[in-house]
Homo-oligomer: A and B are copies of this chain.
Amino acid sequence: MCFALYSASRAATAVYRPVLEDLGLTYPQYLVMLVLWEAEPKGVKELGEELGLDSGTLSPLLKRLEAMGLVERRRSGEDERRVAAHLTTAGRALSSKASGIPQHLADAAGLSADELEQLRTTLERLTEALHRTR
């Protein structure tokens, strides 16, 4: 069962890869951009909570996004410990190029909309349960 999960996840990111290459993003970078397109700016901690990633993964990832000119990292004035990721103009503009990606993947999945929806909710329940065992 878990091998099926592992394989499917890798197969999905493999389908994303060539599409995201046009945007110059990796899959985790794309996830971060999705979150920021939704609401911005976001602290490293908030990004980590939404994506389930820690600062050890996010810090270098955000640095790369900053080097690409998509994101700016700014230290908070009120709390000097916090760093917020702000979108640049280029970062905001990229969202329109990315708008077709979810549909592209849904097409590649070869499952009906119902099946996809059911799969998604089952996976979310599973993730919840697995996290609870920690």
- Chain A residues within CB distance 8 Å of chain B: 1-16, 27, 31, 52, 102, 105-106, 108-111, 115-116, 119-120, 122-134
Contacts and interface: CB of A to CB of B under 8 A. Distances in A.
Given A2-B105, A106-B1, A7 B127 contact: yes
B15 A3 contact: no
Given A108-B133, A110-B132, A132-B110, A126 B2 contact: no
A39 to B, nearest CB: 16
Nearest to A4: B123
B1 A6 contact: no
A105 B1 CA distance: 9
Contacts of A8: 5, 9, 123-124, 126-127, 130
